A and B are shown apart, each in its own frame.
Chain A
Amino acid sequence: KNEVEQSPQNLTAQEGEFITINCSYSVGISALHWLQQHPGGGIVSLFMLSSGKKKHGRLIATINIQEKHSSLHITASHPRDSAVYICAVLSGAGGTSYGKLTFGQGTILTVHP
């Protein structure tokens, strides 16, 4: 079992729909990143969370540390939101260890007009 699991793997939506992408992890973490990757490889960091909830425009990210679960929500989805969304967790940090990022496999989102 992977340390970071995302669901769904593929998601198709109509423009305007509310979208949720889930991320579950099995290790203790100090932070969780949500990333967006467009075709061609470029990755943009959307959020970094260690607790609670963050909002940026139409994007909302939440994390529940006790349940080891995070969600990324997109309100009023648009075709330009079509991309791969990746969850990554920072674990193993502390003392002299600088930790490492472990990535989920990504969720391919396609939003149709």
Chain B
Amino acid sequence: EPEVTQTPSHQVTQMGQEVILRCVPISNHLYFYWYRQILGQKVEFLVSFYNNEISEKSEIFDDQFSVERPDGSNFTLKIRSTKLEDSAMYFCASSGPGTNTDTQYFGPGTRLTVL
């Protein structure tokens, strides 16, 4: 069964450093998403991406964040200058043809720890 994959599973970085989280969505999906879950809190939407541009973003997704689909398979989230409060699980998701477009399938997540 096709699945969303994410790398790395755990990333540790120093405050102020740039990090790039990587995702490989399900191959025939067209819509891509990033979410985060701070420990003990609910899963929060960050951004969605379609047709090589941002479709929707939340107020969490400020200028420190950016997304990119550099090739036909990867979807990345970049945090330019990490802060302590960026420590969270980051989940990538995708949806699209072959499934109900509105049903999003999630990857296993990347745990980001900012020291």
A and B held together in a complex = no
Binding site for B on A (CB under 8 A): none
Binding site for A on B (CB under 8 A): none
